[in-house]
Amino acid sequence: MQNLATSNKKVGLVLSGGGIRGMAHIGLLKAMQERNVEAHEIAGASVGALIGALYANGNSTDEMLQFFKDTPLFQYNYFAIGKPGLIDTTKFASVFQKHFSINSFESLTKPLYVVATDLMNGKEKVFTKGELILPLLASAALSPVFSPVEVNSILYADGGIMNNFPKEYLEKNCELIIGSNVSINGTLEKKHLRNSFQLTGRITGLMIYASCREKIGECDVLIEPQELEHIGMLDKKDIDKAYTIGYDRACWALDKSLN
């Protein structure tokens, strides 16, 4: 592991998907800020892409937390009609416009790589330029809860399906990689596998983690808090809890690298 305190090398930041667990990413950003560690480029999937965009947009960590607290999830007027999924993802565009007044990647202060899943061609797509909001919505469109998002006549869904830890997009320009993986798959007790929903979530999580395990282990600094395991993907009441877990773990990991 290279020492962040003595390095002048470019730092890349990888932020995984993971729903509300992704608030741990914001805890990492707070810990980085306190230690004067800055990322030069960011790659993210799903909630990681959203937080990466807010970071590249210059938003404070308090503003990021408030964004997720204020954004509605299951209001009746957000329900999908005539679309697959329970929630119409595109209805969140107006919420995003309040935070990204200039709707373009070029308006951001840092390069950002947003990964989404091309449902029609069965492959991943990375967005890096042009319109910003629709790719962000697409990357976070967790199936089957949120409807796919159409961008240039292609339907896209959650980036984590194909690539939940898009570290490779940073390797060309960044020499140090900080990774935050919140799609944790530690040990579960039988009581957490009692129904089809829990079983499906567990299997999906294991498949996603297995595809990214090698990349995760290659990071120079990694936070992967096991305490996030029992936080629900869409459970907004645990926003502060996930943030605190991420902050505490990041402080430990960064201090270990800085010393």
**Annotated catalytic residue, options 16, 118, 158, 238:** 158
Contact between residue 166 and residue 113 where contact means Cβ atoms under 8 Å apart: yes
Rounded Cα distance between 232 and 139, Å, is: 19
Start-to-end CA distance of the chain, whole Å, equals 11
Active site residue 46: yes
The answer to whether residues 158 and 117 touch, using CB atoms and an 8 Å cutoff, is: yes
Would you call 104 a catalytic residue per the annotation?
A: no
- Burial class of residue 7 (count of CB atoms within 10 Å of its CB; 0-12, 13-18, 19+): middle
Q: Which residues contact 112 (CB under 8 A, 6 or more apart)?
A: 41, 42, 43, 44, 49, 52, 53, 56, 105, 128
Catalytic site residue from 46, 147, 180, 257 = 46
Annotated catalytic residues are 46, 158
